[in-house]
Structure 1
């Protein structure tokens, strides 16, 4: 990642005196992060109206994850050769095109394919947005990252809510809504964001694979891959046994997103300082596994499923922050390289998780939750077995305001 030069503060709060370019990128970031949970409320309507099974509908997540994971290997290569603005605009343009095509689709297969393209656009945008905000913002790096993390939290929390509102009109509504908002963001960035210099350092495509030779990074990456099976059981499968309207699903996952964002930003740092990174990662994953097991035991009780879904946001928020901070110092490589390697293993390797949850759910309503709980428990076991390679992580300062770490936490969330 190139060196970013920030401007000196003027004494006024950065949140109220930022250049228009910063607000343009922040607005686009909110919309990009909304895409994470936007489709949750419309999963069941898509299946009903397009005559598709839960496993077929869940492929919307699988294709998105697979392409995002692979694309994270090349985003550094692209941005280091073409610059931040061109990479941002390319990502936005790709999202606009594929979100529109998804809204126009007539079959689930078409939506799955277009969601894959959407994943490519999102990877290009997310990998570049933070550095762009830091470079254009006033008030220093720390304030710029706080603004960016605020955009992340707003997007994650409101995505399911917006998806529920637009999905109440038509399942096509969320796709067209994202397309329109991203088109507006595209125009704003073209007009307001100046063209910056190309980075001096070019990223190697082989670097992430070489980084996985380090046992600490590989341990954390496999841990994340396994817990992804629990995560996407919750995200991609739960709307089916809930069997509720788009508005209700939107509000439920909005609650989940709010707790996830609050736990990630407010709860995780304090717990890390008091108890240490590895113990809190293990506890958060263990509690999430127990949460899924309770949901499996009472899979036909909607109240239990609702409470379990919302409560999972706390455990996931803490774990996402701590595990991605651990990635940054788990191996003696550049932080951006470690982030790319981790993202590739977690997302590309875990891409089968949404489909598997949907497929198992066609045979037993509780089975996906049991498998998700088992995989998450296995993630704790991997963490315990590999703890020797990670014993050093609490000897380093977590550096919560470093650009690369905030970017990795974005990918984790």
Structure 2
């Protein structure tokens, strides 16, 4: 577990480095806020499209050849993306390199499959939480470093991120052990690796069903929030890379506290199903208040309010992982990643469109929070489908929750 957490931590620091500076970098190629929102959406869309098609393929390849070589491909794709982005002189270069890196990057899904390989079913919720804490720690360190470096030069964080991706490749090649035993590997089939087939199979897993809708809707909400955050705070509060870096630092701290320390205690009190319901309820309220915030300090206060919202992902992943057999963990986690990538395709279009519609509003106007109100509506739908699914599951089998 320690090996994969180190790999994920380095990976997320390198990704976190560029979050506060990619939107301002796109802005250097545009002339107004509406164009800025549109082209940033296009850059994010390119990554999402490529990742949607690439994730199930890489997930299935990890079931055939092991997790380690596929993660090495991901580290290579990140390094290429960061270095080319740092040297980009036109928008088309940014879009092209995001297409390439999106196709090669499925580290999150492969890392989840890695954890499933080395964990007993009853340990998975806790260990997915530990992995989530490593993701969160990357978001503590990465955005702050990116914000500080971006204040010096917008291109500097991309060179540092590319270097860290290369360091992670070396760590993966020389240190990271393989987790998938030979007897659990299976042949690669293109027919099963296409994203639509992977999603269909995911929905057919026993006990999963409507959870696919929950993952999709809440994933879309998260992606819209992520792609809108920097531009939203820039339009509404006048924040720059440094301020956005510190706000993401706060998000990372809360993620680590919840998933790394509080989640094991929460799982002793609540079932994974109950945590999903409570976390989604918290997320609905959080997004509404974020959108209505009138001062920058309010964003920090609301981050602390949404503690249970950070437990949703680990709880759902444990339910889905336990429904899959050992030979298809990579394919299953790849399908989940592909579903999230499908939402990542839609999120920039939605987020950029909503921000473009309100970009002319005066600073501090409540209407600039349109993307967050949309996220609240999506989380409310997720909450409804999750509640209905868990209620029906309990009605069919009173012991289902205990067995999970």
Whether TM exceeds 0.5 here: the answer is yes
The equivalences for 1:391-402 within 5 A come to 391=394, 394-397=401-404
Q: 1:374 aligns with which of 369, 374, 377?
A: 377
Q: 2:8 aligns with which of 29, 34, 46?
A: 29
Q: 2:349 aligns with which of 355, 358, 375?
A: 355
2:125 and 2:280 mapped to 1: Cα distance? 29
Corresponding residue number in structure 1 for 2:39: 56
1:336–1:254 Cα change, 3 Å? same
1:346–1:192 Cα change, 3 Å? closer
1:363–1:389 Cα change, 3 Å? same
Do the aligned partners of 2:129 and 2:311 also contact (CA within 8 Å) in 1?
A: no
Residue 237 in structure 1 maps to residue 228 in structure 2? yes
The equivalences for 1:223-262 within 5 A come to 223-243=214-234, 244-262=239-257
Do the aligned partners of 2:133 and 2:259 also contact (CA within 8 Å) in 1?
A: no
Residue 220 in structure 1 maps to residue 227 in structure 2? no
- Cα shift readout 1:111-150 (whole Å, capped 9, x = no counterpart): 2332232233331586169749998xxxxx9999998666
Residue 322 in structure 1 maps to residue 329 in structure 2? no
Q: 1:77 aligns with which of 38, 54, 60?
A: 60
Do the aligned partners of 2:132 and 2:259 also contact (CA within 8 Å) in 1?
A: no
Residue 202 in structure 1 maps to residue 179 in structure 2? no
1:361–1:148 Cα change, 3 Å? closer
Residue 122 in structure 1 maps to residue 101 in structure 2? no
Unmatched segments (≥5 aa) in structure 2:
119-123, 359-367
Unmatched segments (≥5 aa) in structure 1:
1-13, 16-21, 136-140, 398-413
1:370 and 1:336 mapped to 2: Cα distance? 34
SS of the equivalent of 2:266 reads: helix
More RCO (CA 8 Å, sep 6+):
2
The offset of 1:160, in angstroms, is: 1.3
Corresponding residue number in structure 2 for 1:340: 334
1:369–1:134 Cα change, 3 Å? closer
Do the aligned partners of 1:75 and 1:124 also contact (CA within 8 Å) in 2?
A: no
1:43–1:313 Cα change, 3 Å? farther
1:380–1:91 Cα change, 3 Å? same
Corresponding residue number in structure 1 for 2:202: 211
Residue 281 in structure 1 maps to residue 288 in structure 2? no
Residue 90 in structure 1 maps to residue 73 in structure 2? yes
The offset of 1:252, in angstroms, is: 0.8
1:241–1:128 Cα change, 3 Å? closer
User: Between Structure 1 and Structure 2, which shows a larger proportion of helix residues?
Assistant: 2
SS of the equivalent of 2:21 reads: helix
1:292–1:125 Cα change, 3 Å? closer
Corresponding residue number in structure 2 for 1:45: 24
Q: How many residues align?
A: 369
1:229 and 1:197 mapped to 2: Cα distance? 31
